[in-house]
Amino acid sequence: MRIGRIIIALLLLPLNFILALGVIRNFSYVKELQHGEVVFLAGFTAYLLLHFILYRPVFMHVMAHELTHAFWAFLFGGKVKSLNVSHEGGSVTMTKSNVFVTLAPYFFPLYTALILIIYFITDKKYLDFIIFLLGFTYSFHLALTLYSLKQKQTDLKEYGFLFSLMLIFLANIIVFAGIAAVVSKQFSYLNFLNEAWKYTEGLLK
C-alpha cells in the first residue's frame, strides 16, 4: 500500500504543476486590479502583518484544525466522540476517518468557508467587509498551515509524507482557484481548467 501511495504521489506531481500553471496563466489575463480584488488583498496582507509582526492566533488555528477533522468526518457519515483544544495542541476522536478527513485541515480553510456562506447571503452594502474577511481568513489558513507543517504532524505520517503533501498541494490549488473565482470577476474557474487542459494536451503530444 505504501508503494501504491508513492506511485500516486509521483503521478500527482505533474498534475499539480499543470494546475499551478493554469492558475498563473489565468491571472496573466488580469490587466488592472478591480475593487474587490484590492479589498481581498488588503485583508490578506492585514493578516500577514498580524502574523509576522504582532501575534499568531495559534489557539484559533488549532480549533479550526480539529473542527475541520470533525466536519469532514461528519461529511463521510462519521460521528465525533470527543474534541479537545488548547494552545499546546488538540485532538478529536471520531467513529470514521479516511485520507480526506485526516488531511482536510491542511487544504480546507474552515473560517473562510464560513465567511463565504455569509458572502452569498449578505446585503451588498456589507460586501467590502466580507471580502476583506475572506482575504484575512484565507491568509490565516495559509500562513498557519505552513507554520504547522514545520512542526511534527502525525496526520502526514499516517498516509506517507510525500503522498500527503502532493494531495494537500492539489487540494489547495483547487480551493484557491474557487476563492479567486468568487472574489475576482477577471478569474474564471472554467478558464483555469481549460488552461490546465491545454498544458496537459501539450505534454501528451
Q: What is the pLDDT of residues 123-146, one digit of tens each?
A: 888 999 999 999 999 999 999 999
pLDDT, residue 13, reads 92
Q: Grade residue 149 by pLDDT with cuts at 50, 70 and 90.
A: confident
pLDDT, residue 204, reads 66
Q: CA nearest 108: which of 80, 81, 79, 70?
A: 70
Residue of 116, 141, 150 whose CA lies nearest to 130: 116
Q: Residue 29 has what pLDDT?
A: 79
What is the reported pLDDT for 205? 62
- Confidence band of 19 (pLDDT split at 50, 70, 90): very high
Q: Can you tell me whether residue 83 is helix, strand or coil?
A: strand
Burial label, 112 (beta-carbon count in 10 A; 0-12, 13-18, 19+): buried
| Distance (Å) of CA 171 to CA 13, 63, 103, 154 | 13, 21, 10, 19
The pTM assigned to this predicted structure is 0.91
CB 136, CB 43: distance < 8 Å: yes
Predicted confidence (pLDDT) per residue in 150-196, tens digit: 876 788 888 888 999 999 999 999 999 999 999 998 898 988 888 88
pLDDT at 142: 96
HSE-up of 135 (CA within 13 Å, CB side)?
21
pLDDT of 6: 87
pLDDT tens readout for residues 67-125: 999 999 999 999 888 888 877 777 888 898 899 999 999 999 999 999 999 999 988 88
E strands present in the chain: 80-86, 89-94
